[in-house]
Amino acid sequence: MNNIKLNNLIVVLSFFIKLSVLAQSPTDLIGKDSINHALLSELMIKSLNANRLKIGVQPLSPDSSAMSFAKRHCLWMVNKGLVHAEEEGFLDCIQECFISSLLTYQEAADLLIRKWMNSKPHKKVLMGAEHRKCGTFTAEYEKTQLVAGFCVRSNFTVIY
């Protein structure tokens, strides 16, 4: 009976240790061994929305179908070696940046959004006033680069 309690305690402790390994704050540094992709995606949406608000455009809200597409496309890009393409009629926005332990999560999110803002076609779509929903997903490519996929939607149809 004591072995069962000890094993349960070990499982619970290992779970909490794993939770504490992932970054929890925008000011935490990105680690090459464990990246909190959910935090990075959330910060990317906030960064994009800050850019949209600067020009008087309504912020985007996260959308599960857009998130699903962004994830699928981002992983497809990683598997294809970062090829930029159109898939199923969606225009995609894929960017990468080198993973650096000197970057905070906020800095990495801002850098990825800034790269998109420096591309006229991407900026036009991401800043479009007709869009209301969005999704983003990040993944690692060869443990040296972050790859981010983004998808935006109008109220009823997926645009990207």
CATH number at 142 reads 3.40.33.10
Model confidence at 82, pLDDT cuts 50, 70, 90, reads low
In a domain? residue 132 = yes
In a domain? residue 8 = no
In a domain? residue 15 = no
Task: Measure the CA dihedral 150/152/157/160, to 10°.
Answer: -50
- Phi, psi of 44, deg, nearest 5: -65, -40
Cα 104 → chain centroid: 14
pLDDT in tens, 85-105: 444 433 444 455 566 667 888
In a domain? residue 57 = yes
Model confidence at 52, pLDDT cuts 50, 70, 90, reads very high
Section 143-152 average pLDDT = 75
112: Cβ contacts below 8 Å, ≥ 6 apart = 44, 47, 95, 97, 138, 146, 148
In a domain? residue 94 = yes
In a domain? residue 131 = yes
Number of domains in the chain: 1
Domain that holds residue 81: 25-153
In a domain? residue 54 = yes
- Is residue 23 within 8 Å of residue 39, measured between CB atoms? yes
In a domain? residue 3 = no
